[in-house]
Structure 1
Amino acid sequence: MRVDEPVLSDDPILRHDLQVPDSWWTGLAGVLEKVAAVSTDRVAVRQQYMDRAIPEFVGIPAPAVFCWTTAHADVHWANLTQPLRLLDWEGWGRSPEGFDAATLYAYSLLQPDTAARVRAVFPVLGGPAGLAAEASVCAQLLQTVSRGDNLTLADPLRDWSEELRRRQAA
């Protein structure tokens, strides 16, 4: 299928101020809620990966997953359009609740206003139910940093991992 709407960023990482209406955010939350409700045997994030990568890259034991839901599993700014379309579905499957929101948050870290908006639109972030998803995404991206990718996110990801360690200890 061909999509004529332009993506919001040429790069997964948001590097510019984002101007989308409130209705876009509401639509995104609704789409991700519908995706989360889909039943599937496909797996996007494996518990075994979490058990290995979160301690290695975030520095905490893998948090308990309160709820596994279905996720697009690659929600970033180069896969979103205005008007809203969510592109690139090959990796979708089961993941910890909040995984898509945590992914979008991670790719927003260079734009604090947008990152704050992601947290406001997806309240699972910052709470106990979202900790496993946040730690998984943080670990995934810190792993990419260790391989030389996403280097502009290195410091914000390290800051996020410190926050996750504090939350786990609380």
Structure 2
Amino acid sequence: MRSRHARAAQALDVRVEPGGEFWGWAGRTLGVPARTAVGAPVWLRLVSAPEDKASGKLWDGALDAQHVFGDLDGRRPALLAVHDAVDDGTAYRAELSARVDQPVLSDDPVLQCDLQLPDSWWADLAGTLEKVSAVDTDRVAVRPQYMDRAIPEFLGIPAPAVARSTAAHSDLHWANLTAAPLQLLDWEGWGRAPEGFDAATFYAYTLLQENVAARVRAVFPILGSPAGLAAEATVCAQLLQTVARGDNLILEDQLRNWSEELRSR
């Protein structure tokens, strides 16, 4: 990955800055700060996959997001260039983006402390997600077949009917958000999902902090409503599935409490 990252930097004519490696899940991605030939700060992220799997939603997510959203009125880092290569059955995609210099709100997707954010930040987040949801796309983030299988398995209820599906970021958590200014990172999985999916995802990753979770519910009134039930049940099932696999164990008790609430509704 490091060797291929260096080749991509050369191909895109950027200079990598030392000491800033960021590895993604299972070493599938490698991101490093860099600068262009004229000194502009950028971020160079390399994604790898077996050559026969280098296509589809996740592979093209950042590129599709750039075509549809651009920089989303400054709320997402613009994708500046892409460079593809294949070597010995492995495909590599280098994505060069504008660099976000402010830190994310949490090093972990799950919020671990009571975070105080101004009203303006919450309003900006709600407004940005509203813009995302208004986009028309044929990309799919949540498939009905998954809901029909996972919700009965992990919540013990039939999958609720989806009254409306909208475009969603689909991975909205605290490690993908910045404070001032607000930016939403990591767009590879965006697509259509039950209405309220982003709000439900964000709420799930906030469950350890009661005060902030209450704020999420206040800002996104679809949570707790009949219209939001399908999204909430889907997110809860998704995360209970990760718990069953040994991940997100810190959320297990809160997720089970949430699932009880959803069953009662």
Same topology, TM > 0.5 = yes
Say yes or no: does 1:150 pair with 2:248.
yes
SS at 1:19 equivalent: coil
Give the Cα separation in 2 of the matches to 1:95 and 1:135: 12
Aligned CA RMSD, in angstroms, stands at 0.4
For the residue of structure 2 that corresponds to 1:94, the secondary structure is strand
- State the SS of the aligned residue for 2:263: helix
Supply the distance in 2 between the matched residues of 1:118 and 1:5 (Cα, whole angstroms): 22
**2:187 alignment partner AA:** W
How many Å apart are 1:159 and its aligned residue?
0.2
Listed one character per residue, the Cα deviations across residues 41-100 of structure 1 (whole Å, up to 9, x for unaligned) are 000000000000000001110000000000000000000001110000000000000000
- 1:21 pairs, out of 106, 118, 121, with 118
Amino acid of the residue matched to residue 119 of structure 2?
A: D
Aligned residues: 167
Match of 1:132 among 222, 227, 230: 230
Match for residue 65 of structure 1?
A: 162
Deviation digits for residues 87-130 of structure 1, max 9, x if unmatched? 00000000000000000000000000011000000000000000
In 1, Cα distance between equivalents of 2:218 and 2:169:
20
- For 1:75 and 1:90, how far apart are their aligned partners in 2? 12
Task: Say if 2:126 is the partner of 1:43.
Answer: no
Residue equivalent to 1:4: 101
Aligned to 1:91: 189
Deviation at 1:133, TM superposition (A): 0.2
Query: Mind listing any 5+ residue stretches in structure 2 that lack a counterpart?
Result: 1-96
Please tell me whether residue 52 in structure 1 is matched to residue 154 in structure 2: no
Counterpart secondary structure, 2:193: strand
User: Where is the helix percentage greater, Structure 1 or Structure 2?
Assistant: 1
Gaps of 5+ in 1: none
SS of the aligned residue for 2:167 comes to strand
CA distance in 2, matches of 1:152, 1:58: 18
> What TM-score, normalized to structure 2?
0.63
Q: Deviations over 1:131-160 (max 9, x none)?
A: 000000000000000000000000000000
Greater RCO (Cα-Cα under 8 Å, separation 6 or more): 1
TM-score scaled by length of structure 1: 0.98
What's the secondary structure of 1:126's corresponding residue? coil
The 3-state SS of whatever aligns with 2:122 is helix
Q: Quote the sequence identity (%).
A: 78
Q: Which amino acid aligns with 1:58?
A: L
* 1:117 aligned partner: 215
Where does structure 1 differ by over 6 angstroms across 4 or more consecutive aligned residues? Answer: none
Give 2:174's aligned residue: 77
